Amino acid sequence: MSTTTTALEEQYAELKAMGLSLDLTRGKPSPAQLDLSNALLSLPGVDNYRDGTGTDLRNYGGPDGLPELRAIFGELHHIPTAQLLAYGNASLQIMYDSTVHALLHGVARGETPWRDVEGISFICPVPGYDRHFAVLEALGIRMIPVPNLGERLDLDTIRDLVASDASIRGMWIVPMYANPTGATLTVDEAEALAGMQTAAPDFRLYWDNAYSVHHLTDDEPETLDILGMAARAGHPDRPFVFASTAKMTFPGAGVAFFGSSPANIEWMKRHTAAQTIGPDKINQLRHLRFFGDAEGVRAHMRRHRPIIASRFSLALDILERRLNGVATWTHPLGGYFISLEVPPGTAAAAIALAGEAGVAVTPAGSAFPYRVDPLDSNIRIAPSFPTLEDLGTALEALCTCVLLAVERNTETPA
């Protein structure tokens, strides 16, 4: 055993003796961020339960959601109000439901229910969002991982796949500050996805605007107008756009949105009509009163920024100090995650070591379909939730575990 390994083993033993219980697994807003939205708890008020037209929102009806709130989020996402629906708190549920509707009934202007497509599959850029992959796995849809080229999509491979394989009916994409890499699509990439030729005539682009206003710097790029791009390319029905207030206000009590072409909106409304008479319009009114307008959303997210940016700054400083020359990592300008790439064959071991020392890290392989990271090298870090002190302790511990895993892997005979 080398001197380096001995020192790391001693550091690790000290870590285990600390009795830590820390969590880096999920991108949750911190309590300080949640406190920014506490005014919601007293809204809309006892006598303030009508929308702009005077409709009593305590009752049934309004399946499309509040027009005023849809207008705000339509402005933020370049979607006409009539082409944006407002639902309950979870955009993930809308993603799941829309996929089930497609499987059972087919999509707007589609030729057949997706369940009748032999070997139905989706393109999944990796590393990607584990919840997206969970939807497909739960519904028996085959996933085709396509590794990113640095922070860019492998467009050549994606184009070739969708052009040659009619079983490919969809593709996941987080266009801004992707989970877990933090990468943001360029206009050229978005236009390529909107205009590419596909063997399946009813191919759908699952466009998840989860982090569209979650900036970490003063630079606040606008969301891409994917509906406009797709319409100009002759594929107006291609994008399904998802968004929510989950990491803006309260994740458990927010509002989710679905935007698309007029044909897709009518399709969605027809199928959700069998599920519900209307969403929680009181909660939607609460958010409308809280934000006021699109600029109110932007101003609110600027209050989030220093809280979460301080955590990212600390995390990146620790990674630079402890793992420079050993691993690489992303430097996101927004979103909720850092993607850490450790030497191949060491991610699972490092995560296991961290778990044994009381630091929970997202399970190895989570950013890949079926939880299989071919290189066993990716670790997703979620720095948003812990206090700065706990975050520092957790990341110092994780770095020690990475170094120990690498050292053990180096010394293991081939």
**How is residue 3 written in tokens?**
């001197």
Give the start-end residues of each E strand in 224-354.
Answer: 239-244, 256-259, 328-329, 338-341
**Nearest C-alpha neighbor of 161 from the set 171, 152, 151:** 171
pLDDT (0 to 100) of residue 1: 58
pLDDT (0 to 100) of residue 5: 75
User: Are 37 and 410 in contact, with CB atoms under 8 Å apart?
Assistant: no
Q: State how beta strands 204-208 and 239-244 pair.
A: parallel
- Domain covering 3-27+298-411 assigned CATH 1.20.58.1910 in the classification: no
pLDDT (0 to 100) of residue 413: 59
**How is residue 215 written in tokens?**
């900036």
Does 3-27+298-411 match 49-292 in CATH topology? Answer: no
pLDDT (0 to 100) of residue 52: 85
**How is residue 355 written in tokens?**
């778990």
pLDDT (0 to 100) of residue 406: 97
Enclosing H/E stretch for 204: strand 204-208
pLDDT (0 to 100) of residue 412: 67
Which class for 392: exposed (0-12), middle (13-18), buried (19 or more C-beta within 10 A)? middle
List, for the chain, all residue ranges whose pLDDT scores fall below the cut of 50.
none
Residue ranges per structural domain of the chain:
3-27+298-411, 49-292
Q: 10 Å Cβ neighbour count for 291?
A: 22
pLDDT (0 to 100) of residue 153: 98
pLDDT (0 to 100) of residue 414: 52
pLDDT (0 to 100) of residue 6: 87
CATH classification code of 49-292: 3.40.640.10
pLDDT (0 to 100) of residue 26: 86
Phi, psi of 123 (to 5 degrees): -80, 135
Which class for 150: exposed (0-12), middle (13-18), buried (19 or more C-beta within 10 A)? exposed
